[in-house]
């Protein structure tokens, strides 16, 4: 039998001795004061951030700017060039040109922006898409290059002018540049087409872009005259602010519909009357 010394220290039943020793890695925790919230940005700082952001967006948009775009129009529509839809649209048109004949030529797609300053527009005539035959389309709706003969719709426009505007005579060509230089915006809803298929570039993005053009004019100008011929033009003109502008509507001048309300609409004389009421110079429709 072991002696008491051999058994070791004796503890009463039910008592447990626990010794706690701090480890060398532990140290007393101290509460750190929380960091103060950042000071709000000053107006100058906010303005600088906004300017830097605008500059970055403008740089991105400028990289997408198509050739032949008039300067005053570029300044007001620059933001559209940076939009994803516009980049996709330009890629689509570029790809089409590598595989097919596309009208008008690339340098003529935006002829309508080169004829007058965006703030000098006073009449807007909306078309659908460019002519799809050779040597016709040159960036102005309803217009064809000289010496091409006027297509059927333009012939009917001339017929209406002969009955509406005193002294108007068929000019012997279909080039409407003379109107465009006076501030008549001849804008198609779709700005390119694959030959020889009409509406072949419909729903590719052009409608969104030309909607933005019409919207800018509606929002930023006063007293414009919009001529909406046919259902497509009326749909496109639905967003025009009619409290600020004048809207004239008729059927399309095509041979299929001209006799159902285009002939006799007298839009050209009415436009000049409305322009004069708004303090604007009337259009010389004979200057072609």
Three-class secondary structure of residue 73 per DSSP:
helix
Residue 105 CB coordination number (10 Å): 14
- What is the CATH number assigned to the segment(s) 53-277? 3.40.470.10
Following CA atoms 125, 203, 116, 220 in sequence, which dihedral angle do they give, to the nearest 10 degrees?
Answer: 80
pLDDT band, very low/low/confident/very high, at 47 (cuts 50, 70, 90) = confident
Look up tokens 């940005």; give the residue. Answer: 41
Three-class secondary structure of residue 129 per DSSP:
coil
- At 265 the pLDDT is 98
pLDDT band, very low/low/confident/very high, at 54 (cuts 50, 70, 90) = low
Q: Is the pLDDT of residue 14 over 70?
A: no
Q: Is the pLDDT of residue 213 over 90?
A: yes
124 torsion bin: left (phi>0), alpha (psi -120 to 50), beta (else): beta
pTM: 0.80
Mean pLDDT of 189-217: 98
- At 288 the pLDDT is 96
- At 43 the pLDDT is 83
Look up tokens 């259902």; give the residue. Answer: 231
Residues classed as catalytic: 129
Residue 50 CB coordination number (10 Å): 10
């Amino acid at each position: 039998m072991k002696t008491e010394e051999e058994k070791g220290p004796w503890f009463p039943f039910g008592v447990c001795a626990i010794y706690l020793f701090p480890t060398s890695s532990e140290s007393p925790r101290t509460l750190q004061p929380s960091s103060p919230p950042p000071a709000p940005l000053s107006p100058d700082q906010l303005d600088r951030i906004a300017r830097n952001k605008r500059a970055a967006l403008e740089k991105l948009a400028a990289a997408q700017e198509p050739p032949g775009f008039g300067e005053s129009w570029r300044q007001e529509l620059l933001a559209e060039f940076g939009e994803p839809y516009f980049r996709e649209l330009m890629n689509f048109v570029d790809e089409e040109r590598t595989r097919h004949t596309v009208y008008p030529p690339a340098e003529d797609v935006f002829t309508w922006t080169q004829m007058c300053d965006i703030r000098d527009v006073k009449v807007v005539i909306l078309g659908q898409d460019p002519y799809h035959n050779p040597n016709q389309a040159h960036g102005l709706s309803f217009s064809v290059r000289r010496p091409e003969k006027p297509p059927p719709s333009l012939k009917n426009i001339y017929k209406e002018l002969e009955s509406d505007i005193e002294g108007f005579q068929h000019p012997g060509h279909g080039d409407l540049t003379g109107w465009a230089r006076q501030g008549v915006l001849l804008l198609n809803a779709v700005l390119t087409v694959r030959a020889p298929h009409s509406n072949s570039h419909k729903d590719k993005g052009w409608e969104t872009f030309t909607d933005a053009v019409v919207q800018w004019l509606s929002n930023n100008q006063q007293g414009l005259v919009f001529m909406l011929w046919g259902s497509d033009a009326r749909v496109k003109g639905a967003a025009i602010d009619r409290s600020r502008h004048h809207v004239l509507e008729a059927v399309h001048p095509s041979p299929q519909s001209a006799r159902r309300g285009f002939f006799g609409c007298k839009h050209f004389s009415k436009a000049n009357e409305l322009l004069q009421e708004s303090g604007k110079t009337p259009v010389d429709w004979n200057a072609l």
